[in-house]
Structure 1
Amino acid sequence: MKITEIEAIPYSIPYHKPLSFATGVLTHANHVLIKIHTSEGFVGIGEAVERPMIYGESQQSIVTAIYKWFAPLLVGMDPFAVEIVQGKLGQIVANNTVKGALDIALHDLRGKVLQQPCWRLFGGDGGEIQVTAMLSIGKPEEVAQEALSIREQNGSNVFKIKVGLDEENDLAVVKEVRNVLGDDARLYVDANHGYTAEQALRILPKMISENIEFVEEPNPAEDFIGRAKLSAMLSVPIMADESVPTLSDAVRELYNDAARIISIKTTRTGFTESRKIVALAQALGVRTVLGNQADSVIGTSASLQFGGGYPWVKREAGEFDLFQLMKDQVANEMLHVQNGKLQVPNSPGIGVSINEEKLKYYRIDD
């Protein structure tokens, strides 16, 4: 079996409401569906996301990179030789979500050929994974009511609070969410590197006093020295996210004691590099949390497959709920949060198929 063609199909679906965080506001899910075709008719799918403020990638750059660089490298290769493919992908720098999507598409393809879900190929047991609900940036009362509504609707009791724009409002939001949800809710905050290290040291202890479990990416990703100092001074762990887009970045953060939790986003590290990060974390006794790039059902299903394949990952609540912000999906399947959990899909590969009519409707390159 050989790879014969790689397609990159950009599409755009509006959100029910804008998604706000410290570094920007998103109104649409601007994604690129990737299809890897083979000589025996099997097709693997993956999805890359546009995040210029994090990875410097746009839909246009993703599509161009695939057709100009990556497809010529991979066409003719054995789709099962994922480590060899990784070596090829590594010849091109950056392009994080392109590489992640291609790797996931290859694993989806393998699962379809073998008629097994990816979680089983990884050696896990699938099942259910607890879901972290992510809250929008906003006024304290609005964010708290959003959290309460989510808990009433689907039973979620783990919440991620977006901060990093305004210290006074950020602290008020954390206090109000805690007040409304009560002491049994599990909370953590994500500054999306919106504070300086000095600001973080001033404001975070006040948030931690509201029983915040950990802090995600408090200061700029490149300031690992400041983050290491913060890590030593705070009473809760720091979770690295934007600062760990690759395995080598995770090594740097952990070696310098800048973080004790690693956010794994399969959208950017695929399955192959993600499992190496898990191995590193497990060897060091470091927690891992499955993050979210505002993925669609496609990307979310891929993350669920990964979590269902590794007990070290599955034991932590994952950030799986942002697909619900999209007004529609190009996948035929749908995911449903129940009792604060999501079922890991059991169909072959990553467990989803494409609704070609919807893809045709939402694609934006024609």
Structure 2
Amino acid sequence: MAKVWVERAEVFLFRFSLERPFRIALGTTTEKTEVIVALHDNHGRVGWGEASPSAVILGCTPDSVLAALDHLIPVLLGEDPRRIRHLVDKMDRVLLGNAAAKAALDLALHDLVGQIYGEPVWRLLGGSLAEPVETDFTVGIDSPARMAAEAKALVEAGFRAIKVKVGEDPKADVERVRAVREAIGEKVRMWIDANQGWTRAQAVWALTRMSEYGVEFVEQPVAAEDLEGMAWVRKRSPIPIMADESVHSPSEALRALRLEACDYVNIKLMKAGGLLRAKEIATICKHAGIPNMIGGMVESNLSATAAVHFALSEANVVFRDLDLGERPEAKLVARGGSAIHNGFQALADPEAPGFGFVEIRKDWLKPVRTYTVGERMRPGE
């Protein structure tokens, strides 16, 4: 095979407003600014990646992601993109943290390498089948009646698992869960996510009362840094506990498992820093007997496609929270990639190389910076 290296990198901003505000215990999202990366090799192939900043969950903003990329992209220029582990380790040596920025580059590398080898990323990651994967759909915090109506509409649209956001007032949260269960019936799976919104005592009080409504698990009932508190809640809760914001990295997964703080771990590519570290977290959990969920932030269908490839590659992922990029305004990938059909995320072409992107809506992107081997970065127009 001819020599290959990363010759150029382009960075863009992608801004979109949500059709409806999305409210969780940590706040309300009305618009997002994603950072999109394109890595070009010396043969004209392009790998695409996305960073989805979140100040309250990831500790980053679009500006801080751009600043991080100033440090990270030069590490990749001139390097063989097929040396993914070497390059990811190298990024970690250059800059601590900054998982979203690293995720964008990790995704772009995987997309590029898939194209080099002519294989889909799910297969490169060890997957054996590319069948559609069932996903839930999340209902944001609102009045019990409105949440129940939204959940019922989602079930009628084909979803068989509903995630209910809670984490505000525990009494109101119990009413939200009750109303949703009554609206969707007993056969639909129901998960809840408190997004760190409760104290230890509030969590036990609420979960004890919610248990009669067939809740399969609760995500992150207490503050992310309070793993001892989550272990305390787990011992007293009739509902299994899933760690989310408490686990970003493989080392944090190890700590959560050693403290017996959770029954499950939610993996997000933006928390982990991309596919490579996400696979490491899944391996740790697998050998500890702890199943995983694959989830995401408010993202476009570009990074949503990467999450689908991860789900297809990892048997320890038994829950899928992949209602990502489904809003019309977030569909940056015009053709190819993945999409939801009747409650299932499916790849447009499971055998397409890389992530299978056919057309990116480049007119939706604002150029910010360009980096080239041997040249300094150039600001976008």
TM-score calculated relative to the size of structure 1: 0.94
Provide the residue aligned with 1:73 in structure 2. Answer: 75
Provide the residue aligned with 1:219 in structure 2. Answer: 222
Provide the residue aligned with 1:358 in structure 2. Answer: 363
Q: Which runs of 4+ in 1 moved over 3 A?
A: 360-366
Q: Distance in 2 between matches of 1:287 and 1:275?
A: 13
Higher mean alpha-carbon deviation, 137-146 vs 29-38, is at 29-38
Q: Structure 1 169/358 Cα, relative in aligned 2: closer, same or farther at 3 Å?
A: farther
Higher mean alpha-carbon deviation, 261-270 vs 218-227, is at 261-270
Deviation at 1:355, TM superposition (A): 2.8
Provide the residue aligned with 2:166 in structure 1. Answer: 163
- Is 1:48 aligned to 2:51, yes or no? yes
Q: Distance in 2 between matches of 1:100 and 1:361?
A: 20
Gaps of 5+ in 1: none
- Is 1:237 aligned to 2:240, yes or no? yes
- CA offsets per residue over residues 121-159 of structure 1, 9 Å max, x none? 123111110111100110011001101111112x10111
Give the match's secondary structure for 2:292: strand
> Which one of 239, 242, 250 corresponds to residue 247 of structure 1?
250
Provide the residue aligned with 1:195 in structure 2. Answer: 198
Q: Distance in 2 between matches of 1:163 and 1:115?
A: 44
- Is 1:142 aligned to 2:141, yes or no? no
- Is 1:120 aligned to 2:123, yes or no? yes
Provide the residue aligned with 2:269 in structure 1. Answer: 266
Contact 1:330-1:358 at 8 Å conserved across structures: no
- Is 1:93 aligned to 2:96, yes or no? yes
- CA offsets per residue over residues 71-93 of structure 1, 9 Å max, x none? 12221221111111121111211
RMSD: 1.8
Of Structure 1 and Structure 2, the greater strand share is in: 2
Deviation at 1:107, TM superposition (A): 0.6
Q: Distance in 1 between matches of 2:362 and 2:278?
A: 32
Contact 2:219-2:243 at 8 Å conserved across structures: yes
Provide the residue aligned with 1:82 in structure 2. Answer: 84
Q: Distance in 1 between matches of 2:33 and 2:286?
A: 34
Give the match's secondary structure for 1:227: helix
Give the match's secondary structure for 2:54: coil
> Which one of 171, 175, 178 corresponds to residue 172 of structure 1?
175
Q: Structure 1 90/100 Cα, relative in aligned 2: closer, same or farther at 3 Å?
A: same
Q: Distance in 2 between matches of 1:165 and 1:323?
A: 26
Give the match's secondary structure for 1:204: helix
Deviation at 1:363, TM superposition (A): 8.1
Seq. identity, %: 30
- Is 1:349 aligned to 2:351, yes or no? no
Q: Distance in 2 between matches of 1:37 and 1:357?
A: 15
Amino acid at match of 1:37: H
Q: Structure 1 350/235 Cα, relative in aligned 2: closer, same or farther at 3 Å?
A: same
Higher mean alpha-carbon deviation, 226-235 vs 342-351, is at 342-351
Deviation at 1:322, TM superposition (A): 3.4
TM-score calculated relative to the size of structure 2: 0.91
